[in-house]
Amino acid sequence: MHLVQFREIMRDAEVAYAIHPIVLKYLLTVEETTKALLECGVSRAANVAQISTGSFLINQYATNCPTKQRDLFQAT
């Protein structure tokens, strides 16, 4: 099971890497990216969209950082 999950995560990352320049160029949101990926038939579109827009990393940082830093980070 872990190998299957690992392969899915790697595939998501590869797709996100491929579309990242377009997401940046057109300043697409997670919702817009998800919608476009769903129209193209990409599985796990929401995960790919979060990775490609960088919101996944921001959410992970805000979740894992200490409380004072988290409050400052979320205020900006």
pLDDT at 76 over 80: no
Report the C-alpha gap between 38 and 35 in whole angstroms: 5
Torsion angle in degrees (nearest 10) through CA of 47, 53, 57, 61: -120
Picking from 33, 29, 63, 26, the residue whose alpha carbon sits closest to that of residue 48 is 33
> Tens digits of per-residue pLDDT, 22-51?
999 999 998 999 999 999 999 889 889 888
- The single residue listed with the structure tokens 């979320």 is 74
Residue pair 37/67 in contact by the 8 Å Cβ criterion: no
